[in-house]
Amino acid sequence: MALRTLATRKTLGAFSTFPQQLRGLQTFTLPDLAYDYGALEPAISGDIMQLHHQKHHQTYITNYNKALEQLDDAIAKGDASTAVKLQSAIKFNGGGHVNHSIFWKNLAPTKEGGGEPPHGSLGWAIDQSYGSVEKLIAKMNAEGAAVQGSGWVWLAVDKELKRLVVETTANQDPLVTKGPSLVPLIGIDVWEHAYYLQYKNVRPDYLKNIWKVINWKYASEIYEKECP
Amino acid sequence: MVMASVTTIASHLTSTFLYAPEFCRLSQSLHTSQRPCTRKSVSGTISANIDLKPPPYALDALEPHMSKETLEYHWGKHHRGYVNNLNKQIEGTELDKMSLESIILASHNKGDILPAFNNAAQVWNHEFFWESMKPGGGGKPSGELLELINRDFGSFEALIQEFKLAATTQFGSGWAWLVYDLEDKKLVVLKSSNAINPLVLGSYPLLTLDVWEHAYYLDFKNLRPDYISTFLDKLVSWDAVSSRLEAAKVSIEGK
């Protein structure tokens, strides 16, 4: 799957009026999807995919870049208060970029393997830990439905304990905020923007249907890397 | 002028004022409607008494600024869901037959939140939200409300800017509020996350705007700032805010 994340190296001089020495600041651009917006229908509508990618994810990236530039500036000036004040904007927007970049890889059209259950070592580990893929899905759907407000539900592997974990995070907190050794395998966005135009208030229907386009191949690759 | 997030006023949670009888009397004055003692479902199984109160206008009355479709889902599904789930939760417990405000305070439990809080607070928040809007809303406040706004924010325009900022920067789901701070005796703009409301933050709510995505997504998609502007320009009921301010002052002086 050719998914490219483009990062550009810009010098601070291009954005700042301060005559400082040139610093390299890596900022971010919107990664492409490996499929068309409409390719996940009927599980997720093309309208949602387009808005979600081009508006929501792009806004996180734009605001993350802005916050990073402000942070870079504050650090250069030794302005500790500003540096600390920027942390919530970094977490919201940087987290939003991190999470959505994973999410696009977690999805695939059915004709490209979306929805096909995991084989190999991940499938085996799921059976060991949860009894079956169906039981894991039921657990993730229950936890995803129970997230108050906005957030994510995750299947993760603890890379230290070599164990599968189901976890939820609030808002755009990345999974690592729940445990530094947690590596995301599958993340499902349960912010209302992820499903509202199609499923309205019925988040459980969205959760039931998204599994038809979940990219278990990608999840298996990550798992096999952490648990060879 | 003060804009505070829920985290910076978390210290209010330890205030004993919140749980004093004076505050409960105060919070009860916020709702002018009668609440019947019991509500029986058709099947007769749930008799917990929290009502789904309709907005004080027809579901299409806020068009074109807030669509009928939005009201049908927001009131008819989301608000109704909170009511039904709350009644199921409190049935047969000590929370059953308590007033909504009392359920909120009890389940907030000084920050150690109990399961009924989310539903109870969201029922209250949505009732308060419908009553914060009216057909042909917008415009400017007048009288004592405007005087206090000028005193505490400098100008009406400054209040609008601060309210817009709070509503725009409430990350994730939540609410923006104009409140009367009972300790400092001044108007303050607050934002809160998820279901948190001023009843548990030690201040007297005067106005709210729902910034959960379900409140605006059908009409505005991702464009929350446009929704906020439309609310302030076309929907906000400054009359309701003035009445609530009156009630706040009466409650405080009557202590």
Instruction: Write the pLDDT tens digit of every residue in A17-51.
Output: 444 444 578 899 999 999 999 999 999 999 999 99
Q: Where are the domains of chain A?
A: 46-104, 110-226
Locate the chain B residue with the closest alpha carbon to A51. Answer: B222
Topology match between the domains A46-104 and A110-226: no
What is the average per-residue pLDDT within A134-156?
98
- pLDDT, residue B250, reads 86
Are residues B205 and B197 in contact, defined by beta-carbon separation less than 8 angstroms? yes
Any domain includes B115: yes
Instruction: Provide the number of structural domains found in chain B.
Output: 1
Q: Return d(Cα B146, Cα B249) in angstroms, integer.
A: 15
Please indicate whether residue B21 or residue B110 has the higher confidence score (pLDDT): B110
**ipTM of this complex prediction, to 2 decimal places:** 0.88
**Dihedral sign of CA atoms B180, B184, B187, B189 in order:** negative
Nearest CB partner across the interface for A171, out of B73, B77, B171: B171
pTM for this structure? 0.87
The residue to which tokens 């990345």 are assigned = A174
- pLDDT, residue B80, reads 98
Are residues A190 and A152 in contact, defined by beta-carbon separation less than 8 angstroms? yes
Residue among A215, A182, A209, A216 nearest A194 (CA): A209
CB atoms under 10 Å from CB of B5, counted, come to 17
Any domain includes B126: yes
Q: Which CATH architecture describes the domain A110-226?
A: 3-Layer(bab) Sandwich (3.55)
Q: Is the pLDDT of residue A14 over 80?
A: no
- pLDDT, residue B32, reads 41
Asked if the Cβ–Cβ distance from A92 to B171 is below 8 Å, we say yes
Are residues A191 and A161 in contact, defined by beta-carbon separation less than 8 angstroms? no
Lowest mean pLDDT among B29-33, B121-125, B168-172: B29-33
Lowest mean pLDDT among A87-91, B46-50, B217-221: B46-50
Q: What is the pLDDT confidence band of residue B254, given thresholds at 50, 70 and 90?
A: low
- Token pair in block for residue A41: 């229908």
Q: Return d(Cα A224, Cα B77) in angstroms, integer.
A: 43
Residue among B62, B66, B56, B9 nearest B243 (CA): B56
**From chain A, which residues contact B within 8 Å (Cβ)?**
51, 55-56, 59, 88, 92, 148-151, 170-172, 191-193, 196-197, 200-201
* Rg of the Cα atoms in chain A: 19
Any domain includes B129: yes
Share of chain A above pLDDT 70, in %: 90
Please indicate whether residue A91 or residue B11 has the higher confidence score (pLDDT): A91
Asked if the Cβ–Cβ distance from B77 to A201 is below 8 Å, we say yes
Chain A and chain B share a number of CB contacts under 8 A equal to: 52
Lowest mean pLDDT among A116-125, B65-74, B125-134, B246-255: B246-255
Are residues B99 and B35 in contact, defined by beta-carbon separation less than 8 angstroms? yes
- pLDDT, residue B27, reads 46
Q: Is the pLDDT of residue B35 over 90?
A: no
Q: What is the per-residue burial (b if ≥16 Cβ within 10 Å, else e) of A73-101?
A: bbeeeeeeeebeebeebbbbbbbbbbbbb
Q: What is the pLDDT confidence band of residue A12, given thresholds at 50, 70 and 90?
A: very low
The CATH number assigned to the domain holding B92 equals 3.55.40.20
- pLDDT, residue B96, reads 93
Share of chain A above pLDDT 90, in %: 88
- Token pair in block for residue A10: 């810009």
Q: Which residues contact B216 (CB under 8 A, 6 or more apart)?
A: B70, B223, B224, B227
| Superfamily of chain region A46-104 | Fe,Mn superoxide dismutase (SOD) domain (1.10.287.990)
Which residues in chain B have Cβ-Cβ distances shorter than 8 Å to A196? 213-214, 217-218
Any domain includes B132: yes
Instruction: Enumerate the known binding-site residues of A for Mn(2+).
Output: 52, 100, 189, 193
Q: Return d(Cα A23, Cα A54) in angstroms, integer.
A: 29
Q: Return d(Cα B35, Cα B42) in angstroms, integer.
A: 19
Average predicted confidence (pLDDT) for chain B: 86
Q: What is the pLDDT confidence band of residue B89, given thresholds at 50, 70 and 90?
A: very high
One-letter amino acid at A62 equals: T
- pLDDT, residue A143, reads 98
Q: Is the pLDDT of residue B180 over 50?
A: yes
Asked if the Cβ–Cβ distance from A193 to B172 is below 8 Å, we say no
- pLDDT, residue B30, reads 53
Are residues A184 and A176 in contact, defined by beta-carbon separation less than 8 angstroms? no
Residue among B246, B241, B220 nearest B64 (CA): B220
- pLDDT, residue A190, reads 98
Question: What is the full DSSP assignment across chain A?
Answer: ------EEEEEGGGT--S-PPP-EEEEE-PPPPSS-GGGGTTTS-HHHHHHIIIIIIHHHHHHHHHHHHHHHHHHHTT-HHHHHHTHHHIIIIIHHHHHHHHHHHHB--GGGTTTPPP-HHHHHHHHHHHSSHHHHHHHHHHHHHH--SSEEEEEEEETTTTEEEEEEEETT--GGGG-TTEEEEEEEE-SGGGTHHHHTT-HHHHHHHHGGGB-HHHHHHHHHHH--
First CA to last CA distance, chain A: 21
Any domain includes B104: yes
Asked if the Cβ–Cβ distance from B172 to A171 is below 8 Å, we say yes
Nearest CB partner across the interface for A192, out of B81, B193, B213: B213
The residue to which tokens 């919140």 are assigned = B18
Q: Is the pLDDT of residue A188 over 80?
A: yes
The per-residue pLDDT for range A101-130, each reduced to its tens digit, is: 999 999 999 999 999 999 899 999 999 999
- pLDDT, residue B17, reads 39
- pLDDT, residue B251, reads 78
- Quick check: helix, strand or coil at residue B178? strand
Whole-Å CA distances, B205 to B10, B36, B124, B186, B195: 17, 23, 11, 12, 14
Lowest mean pLDDT among A64-68, B36-40, B183-187, B244-248: B36-40
Phi/psi-derived region of residue B139, left when phi > 0, alpha when psi is between -120 and 50, beta in every other case: left
Shortest Cα distance, chain A CAs vs residue B99, angstroms: 23
Any domain includes B127: yes
Q: Is the pLDDT of residue A205 over 80?
A: yes
What is the average per-residue pLDDT within A172-186?
97
The per-residue pLDDT for range B96-117, each reduced to its tens digit, is: 989 999 999 999 999 999 999 9
